[in-house]
Amino acid sequence: MKTSATIDLQVACSAEGVPDVSLFTRWATAAVGNSRASAEISIRVVDAIEGAELNQHWRNKQGPTNVLSFPCDFPDELNIPLLGDLVICAPVIAREAREQHKTPQAHWAHMVIHGTLHLLGYDHIEDSDARVMELLEIELLEALGFPNPYQATPSFNHSGEDRR
């Protein structure tokens, strides 16, 4: 059973370099893999202001973050394909890509995969869970032709704090 993700893309900012919906679909499909019969994800690309507002409201953290994940919590017996929503802050992606010496496309792919894995229930709160999630991200990104996103950069959690 190979899943194909369906993406509802909303670009709510004037940022340059936002990938085409076909790329978002490819990256989310890779992350979903064989875990579901079908998956629908809404991805909203936002500016720093909206990103900061959402991060403050939902995580009680100041400033924008790279990706926020909002999983749907429907009972399995309803068989609803909606996996959830991702909010990706375009200026943060651009800045992090520069700082981490990655191509913008590689960082976009990483954040879509990272966020989709959150929608599937993965997290990185505990170090052991973080390692599982990071290894899966590395494997998925390498299968898509991207380098290890954690090589030559510190291992960070969403708050930007060095986890090591």
User: Do 66 and 83 touch, CB atoms closer than 8 A?
Assistant: no
What are 32-84's pLDDT values in tens digits? 997 887 899 999 999 999 999 999 999 999 999 999 999 998 887 888 899 99
Residue at 38 is within a domain:
yes
pTM for this predicted structure: 0.88
Residue at 61 is within a domain:
yes
Residue at 151 is within a domain:
no
Residue at 162 is within a domain:
no
Please list the residues that pair with 106 across neighbouring strands.
none
**pLDDT on residue 161:** 40
Core vs surface per residue 21-32: b (16+ CB within 10 A) or e: eebbbbbbbbbb
CA–CA gap between residue 61 and residue 51 (Å, rounded): 11
Query: Is 70 exceeded by the pLDDT of residue 5?
Result: yes
- Band of pLDDT at residue 152, cut at 50, 70 and 90: low
Residue 85, domain extent: 5-143
SS3 9: strand
Q: Which residue has the tokens 């800045």?
A: 95
Q: How many CB atoms lie within 10 A of CB 91?
A: 16
CA–CA gap between residue 133 and residue 156 (Å, rounded): 12
Number of domains in the chain: 1
CA–CA gap between residue 114 and residue 83 (Å, rounded): 14
**pLDDT on residue 38:** 84
Structure tokens at 20: 């085409």
Write the CATH number for 92.
3.40.390.30
